[in-house]
Amino acid sequence: MLPASMQVISVNTGKAQLIPGAKAAGESGIYKYPVAGAVEITAHGLADDAVCDTKHHGGPDQAVYVYGQTDYDWWSTRSELSFEPGSFGENLTISDLDSSLNIGDRLVIGNVVLEATAPRIPCGNLAAKQGDKGFARTFREAKRPGVYFRVLHTGSITAGDSVELQRYAGDTVSITEVFLICYEPQPDESVIHRLLDAPIAIRLRRQLERKVS
């Protein structure tokens, strides 16, 4: 069970950077590094943070990507790779957090309120950054995708800020469940409708709606 109170370990932003094997643009914003001081959180994400592949990343429903230190600790015991804050391209690294959140759960950090909307689906850029062509599959099999959030209330965040977890009051759909369904070629329609009743990200909503249209 996740604690009600956690802490921001690191706030991470990045610039557009050339990456081997990147998509058509040849650049990616996946290289995120910790920044000092307060960082403004807008409805579209962190100030001065690059999002290159806007078809699959960013936007108001996937404005902030969060990864938990608990999941990083899990990786560290099972991989020879080194994992520091920002390793998976997350904007916020948070203590005591893992991928067991539910869609609609909220993180309150000072004046900022974030709402969980979707898991991160691994792509070629993540594998390229890790220097492992098979890392997307490894990431998928780990079932620790991290979480995308929409911003319900803007403000600023600084490393060291306390984080309050507020659980979603509606019917729960876990991030892990959504992650696994994304790989199902023909998920059960009743499951899809259950997901559509949750406050999921618009990209994911459109994908699911096509499966039942």
Task: Compute the average pLDDT of residues 49-54.
Answer: 87
Cβ-based neighbour number of residue 46 at 10 Å: 25
Decide if 73 contacts 83 (C-beta within 8 A). Answer: no
Mean pLDDT of the chain: 92
Asked if residue 101 has pLDDT above 90, the reply is yes
The pTM for the full model equals: 0.95
pLDDT, one tens digit per residue, over 106-156 is 999 999 999 999 999 998 889 888 888 899 999 999 999 999 999 999 999
3-state secondary structure of 106: strand
pLDDT reported for residue 168: 96
**At a CB cut-off of 8 Å and minimum separation 6, what does 55 contact?**
none
Q: What would the pLDDT profile of 187-202 be if each residue is shown by its tens digit?
A: 888 889 999 999 999 9
> Looking at domain 5-212, which of 3.40.640.10, 1.10.20.60, 3.50.30.30, 2.40.33.20 is its CATH number?
2.40.33.20
Among 145, 135, 207, smallest CA distance to 175 is for 145
